Amino acid sequence: MPRTTPVLIAGVLTAALVAPVAPAQASNPLAPISSSLARTLTTASGTIPVFVHGTSIGAARQAAADTGLTLITTWNKIGVAVARGTAEQIGAVRGHAGVTYVEGDQPLRLHLSTSNVATRGEQARAELRDGQGRPVDGRGVSAAIIDTGVDGTHPFSRNADGTSAVKLNLKNICGPLTDLGLPLPLPNDSCFLDLTAANDTDTLSAGGHGTHVAGIVAGRDTTLTDGTQLHGAAPDATLISLSV
């Protein structure tokens, strides 16, 4: 409610209605940022791509809009707004209500040195035994890798005797079935070309996602030049590659 305050104007005492003053709004604490973004901001000029994490996708979008960031896209399920802006705008969005984290954009580097721990393959191999008392390491099992293809000549797929863990390497040669002009149903085996002799169907010449996944599944025991020892979750399994 307004209160009455005496005011002296031109020597005349009168009354004026004065609205109560609202207390100053406390500023929001700055949301943390990724180490890569912190490094980038020290030398950056122009605009920088960032991932604004929010308590909800609405909060992330609102924060980007209010601080002048240019919205690129959103990842609604995890409450992230992908945006671009200056160092000043990124600093401002960190203090916006509902922002929990601001992440920089950086290339992904794929490493397999801890995959067998993350998948608990290392634990299974060390602690579990099958009905014959043997380690649970994939022996007697064939695993199909349905992906971009597998480079069966990769060192991670090489058995101790020099043979490959990839026993069959097939590449899909069919486009969308409706475009083939052939009567359906089409026999499955007519859609795959057997490239086991070359043993490399990966779509990326440097080794792509399928080769990476094959290593996670059944990479053989390998020691890198820096001494790092790694292997897949089931390093004695046989691999069948279906490049689709």
143 and 94 housed in the same domain? no
CA trace torsion 99, 104, 105, 108 (10° rounding): -110
Which bin fits 164, alpha (ψ -120 to 50), beta or left (φ > 0)?
A: beta
Model's pTM, two decimal places? 0.56
Residue 226 lies in a domain: yes
Residue 6 lies in a domain: no
53 and 153 housed in the same domain? no
Count of other CB atoms within 10 angstroms of residue 154: 22
Residue 155 lies in a domain: yes
On whether the CB atoms of residues 241 and 170 are closer than 8 A, the answer is: yes
Specify the CATH number for the domain of residue 43.
Answer: 3.30.70.2980
Residue 146: strand pairing partners: 242
227 and 128 housed in the same domain? yes
pLDDT tens-digit map of 62-116: 999 999 999 999 999 999 999 999 999 999 999 999 999 999 998 877 677 788 8
Poorest-confidence range of 5-14, 110-119, 177-186?
A: 5-14
E strands within 41-165?
Answer: 48-54, 70-75, 80-85, 99-104, 142-147
For the chain, what is the domain count? Answer: 2
Residue 10 lies in a domain: no
Of 36, 32, 31, 241, nearest in space to 145 by CA: 241
Mark which of 104, 138, 158 sits at the end of a domain: 104
User: Which one has a higher pLDDT value, 172 or 49?
Assistant: 49
130 and 232 housed in the same domain? yes
Residue-level pLDDT at 117? 87
Poorest-confidence range of 23-32, 93-102, 107-116, 142-151?
A: 23-32
Q: What is the mean pLDDT of residues 136-164?
A: 94
168 and 63 housed in the same domain? no
Distance CA 11, CA 46 (A): 59
126 and 203 housed in the same domain? yes
Residue 188 lies in a domain: yes
Residue 29 lies in a domain: no
Which residues neighbour 176 within 8 Å (Cβ) at sequence distance 6 or greater? none
213 and 139 housed in the same domain? yes
**Mean of the per-residue pLDDT values for the chain?**
84
82 and 171 housed in the same domain? no
> Which range of residues forms the domain containing residue 46?
35-104
Distance CA 182, CA 26 (A): 69
Which helix or strand (DSSP H or E) is residue 57 part of?
helix 57-66
Distance of CA 95 to the CA centre of its chain: 26
